[in-house]
Copies of this chain bind each other. A is one copy, B any other.
Amino acid sequence: MHGTEWNLDRIRPHIAAHLPLAALLGIEVAAADARHSLVRLAASPHITRPGGSVAGPIMFAMADVAAYVLLLVVREEAEAATANLLINFFRPALELPLLAEAVLLRSGRRLMTFDVRIWPQDAARDRLVAQATATFALPG
């Protein structure tokens, strides 16, 4: 039985139900607390392109999920929706798993903004393959 807190035991099935695409692509929630969230992309048959790099839409999905998970923890508002998201691609993502970490930039009454960094788990943490800034709108 769950309490009202959004911890991993509650977040994972919620993401599986809310965004089934995440599981299809091999995206899993690795960590989530009030400070940050971490999402992992494991190897999966659908994600790579010729040459072995991870396709852009999959990194977009990682960023979107990571931001949404942190929003769940910080605001406990499952009905929030992405208002806009800018993603910058820096270099081909050739190594799996990939990690995406979201941190909070702003927690307003109606809008939340997140910074998300994506890098290969086995590389230095500043060897980013992509970075995103996502703004979510809260309902009500």
Contacts and interface: CB of A to CB of B under 8 A. Distances in A.
How many copies the complex holds: the figure is 4
A82 B56 CA distance: 8
A94 interface: no
A75 interface: no
Contact of A85 (B56, B82, B106): B56
A20 to B, nearest CB: 7
Interface string A80-103: 011111111111100000000000
A6 interface: no
Contact of A115 (B50, B131, B137): B131
B49 A18 contact: yes
Interface of A: 17-21, 24, 46-47, 49-50, 55-58, 60-61, 64, 81-92, 105-106, 108, 110-111, 113, 115, 128, 131, 133, 135, 137
19 contacts: A17-B50, A18-B50, A20-B46, A55-B61, A56-B60, A56-B61, A57-B60, A60-B60, A60-B61, A81-B89, A84-B86, A84-B113, A85-B87, A88-B133, A90-B106, A105-B128, A105-B131, A113-B131, A135-B135
Given A21-B58, A56-B60, A57-B64, 16 more contacts: A17-B50, A18-B49, A21-B47, A21-B55, A24-B46, A56-B64, A57-B61, A81-B92, A83-B135, A84-B86, A88-B106, A91-B106, A106-B131, A110-B110, A110-B137, A133-B133
